[in-house]
Amino acid sequence: MKTIVIYNSQTGFTKRYAMWIAEAAGAECFELSEAKKKDMAAYDAIIFGGWACAGGISKLGWFKGNIIKWTDKKLIAFCVGGSPADNPEIEPALKQNFTEAEFEKVSVFYCPGGFNYEKMSAPSKLMMKMFIKTLKAKKNKTEAEEEMIKIISSSYDISDKKYIEPILECLNG
Ligand SMILES: Cc1cc2nc3c(=O)[nH]c(=O)nc-3n(C[C@H](O)[C@H](O)[C@H](O)COP(=O)(O)O)c2cc1C
């Protein structure tokens, strides 16, 4: 199956997953702006990866806008975020990025990445600073919220190649 992996990554975690998937699947791998120049008719499977931004998947619009054209292809999307894989909020958040019809056509996965403040853009850093400040100011914080403040206040890496396994199974299944 001729496969292309397309990614949008700000600090490198999504790119890392995209490259792991492409290597394991024997697929081509391109950053979104490069991929847009390619002829998608040449591929049987299209895998798109974006990073989680306030519950959304970054740059998902291009992929979603083409779903209707790609009726004969296997479509997979993956999202890379700072949350651990067992966060119960992930599944509903992923779902809300797609309409029901789109969700039927696309298999959607989550891969934990982390935070890299050194590589983050200034607007993203500012958004994170405001988010942490708001969370800190909240009264009666839950234990999970207290823990979250500690974790996301500095860089960390929870990416692991094992999280590509369900994506590969889906691709080959
Ligand atoms: C403004 C902003 C919003 C974010 N929102 C979420 C989120 O809703 N859920 C999540 O799990 N991670 C969130 N993150 C964390 C990123 O998705 C995470 O750092 C990811 O690994 C970045 O991928 P990249 O290295 O490919 O850019 C957010 C990060 C930023 C900067």
User: Are 31 and 81 in the same domain?
Assistant: yes
User: Are 123 and 109 in the same domain?
Assistant: no
Mean pLDDT of the region 138-142: 95
Range of the domain at 127: 118-154
User: Are 89 and 125 in the same domain?
Assistant: no
Going from the Cα of 1 to the center of ligand 1, the distance in angstroms, rounded, reads 31
pLDDT tens-digit profile of 8-55?
999 999 999 999 999 999 999 999 999 999 999 999 999 999 999 999
Contact 28, 22 (CB under 8 A): yes
User: Structure pTM?
Assistant: 0.96
Q: Tell which one of 21, 29, 51 to mutate to probe ligand 1, the residue whose CB is within 8 A of the most ligand atoms.
A: 51
User: Are 20 and 100 in the same domain?
Assistant: yes
> Residue 106 pairs with which residues in a beta bridge?
75
Q: Tell which one of 20, 53, 79 to mutate to probe ligand 1, the residue whose CB is within 8 A of the most ligand atoms.
A: 53
Percent of the chain with pLDDT over 90: 98
pLDDT at 68: 93
Between the two ends of the chain, the Cα-to-Cα distance in Å is 11
Confidence of residue 139 (pLDDT cuts 50, 70, 90): very high
CA–CA distance, 128 with 117 (Å, rounded to integer): 10
> Residue 79 pairs with which residues in a beta bridge?
50, 110
User: Are 88 and 161 in the same domain?
Assistant: yes
Mean pLDDT of the region 76-84: 97
User: Are 85 and 167 in the same domain?
Assistant: yes
Confidence of residue 6 (pLDDT cuts 50, 70, 90): very high
Coil vs helix vs strand at 38: coil
User: Are 110 and 134 in the same domain?
Assistant: no
pLDDT at 18: 98
User: Are 67 and 146 in the same domain?
Assistant: no
Report the CATH number that the domain containing residue 106 is assigned in CATH: 3.40.50.360
User: Are 107 and 67 in the same domain?
Assistant: yes
User: Are 57 and 90 in the same domain?
Assistant: yes
Going from the Cα of 48 to the center of ligand 1, the distance in angstroms, rounded, reads 16
Mean pLDDT of the region 161-167: 98
Confidence of residue 115 (pLDDT cuts 50, 70, 90): very high
